[in-house]
Amino acid sequence: MERNTNLDIAKLSLSFLVIAVHLPLYNGVSDDQAYTMGWLFSNGISRIAVPCFFMINGYFVNITDKTKVRKYMTHLLILYAVWMLLYLPAYYHSVVGNPKYLVKLVVFGFHHLWYVISLIFATFFLYLIKRYLPVSQRMLIALVVGLFVIGYLIQDVVAPRFRQPQHYVVVYRNFLFFGLPFFTLGHIIRRTSFELDARARRNCYIAILVGTVTLLIESYLSLKYKLGVNLYISLLFLCPPIMILLFKSTWRKSGSLVADIANAVFFTHTGVILFLQDYFAGTPNIYLFPVAVFLSIIVSGIVYALNRRLKFLL
């Protein structure tokens, strides 16, 4: 089966950006300029990764086919259960004797696995919308923007009013205000017929340039004024043109190795990071990052090989 090779390579690159988010390059850096650059990369550029992943899934899921949606959600639920169990040693001591925290973990996911549970709910809700509330593309776009803006306001206006705003991240970084909007954007792109001619391609490049500059400005303001770093308004305008160019690219080859390794890097990188932070405690993240990328690829190769037999790891 032929695959979009550009998209597979992009997925692998995005998985490396996820590592940069979870292993912030500015941690352990004393120089102010280097700290700022690390912040702009980890809490700026790298923040395109998760929205793009949501859009990729929204693009390829046939949301109007009940059978395919059920099969897709079942696969995600199995992945979620398997990886929650595999990461159990990382959070076991936190949930023993604390049933409320256990429920929170199951509902919202451990660390990076929040993405998987959000993807499950985003799929389910978009399926319900398309099946029982048939709306126009414009209404869907309005829904996307509205939900994301609400999440953004909760992040930067409501959450900071609490004593420990970081504990309320699940209130806005979830399937409703983050996952569903970008998942739906991927679906909208798939359902919209257009030719990516020279003019459209040029407009995408301009949008990416403007969106990148805006994202860096937002990221810098989040550093200066201690604002949230999960939801940036610029992501709504930057990620779609990136994905349009990738979806419409024509370089295709057979095989899913790169895409499977990208998925494996996403699932395994947290374990690699926890190992490195324990084994190399006190080492600045700027030095740990390339090691984390390298080890994640190695571990992902092992997971890929195991998955060829087990079929429930990726």
**Percent of the chain at pLDDT exceeding 90:** 86
CA distances from 147 to 21, 58, 275, 302 (A): 23, 16, 37, 39
**This prediction's pTM:** 0.96
- Residue 1 pLDDT: 54
Per the model's pLDDT, the better-predicted residue between 69 and 249 turns out to be 69
Q: Is the pLDDT of residue 24 over 70?
A: yes
- Residue 88 pLDDT: 96
The mean pLDDT of 17-42, rounded to a whole number, is 96
Confidence band of 254 (pLDDT split at 50, 70, 90): low
Q: Is the pLDDT of residue 251 over 80?
A: no
Mention every residue, 6+ apart, whose C-beta is less than 8 A from residue 196: 204, 244, 245, 248
Paired with 252 in beta bridges are 4
What is the tally of structural domains in the chain?
Answer: 1
- Residue 256 pLDDT: 86
Give residue 165's Cα distance to chain centre.
21
User: Which amino acid would we find at residue 155?
Assistant: Q
Q: Is the pLDDT of residue 292 over 70?
A: yes
| CA proximity to 238, closest of 12, 25, 50, 57 | 50
DSSP states of 198-234: HHHHHHHHHHHHHHHHHHHHHHHHHHHHT--SS--TT
Buried-exposed string 187-211: b where 16+ CB fall within 10 A, e elsewhere: bbbbeeeeeeeeeeeeebeebbeeb
Rounded-to-integer distance, Cα 96 and Cα 59, Å: 40
Q: Is the pLDDT of residue 193 over 90?
A: no
The mean pLDDT of 214-237, rounded to a whole number, is 95
- Residue 3 pLDDT: 82
- Residue 150 pLDDT: 97
Element (H, E) at 266: helix 257-279
Confidence band of 160 (pLDDT split at 50, 70, 90): confident
- Residue 122 pLDDT: 98
Assign 3-class secondary structure to 75-97.
Answer: HHHHHHHHHHHHCHHHHHHHHCC
Domain interval for residue 25: 2-310
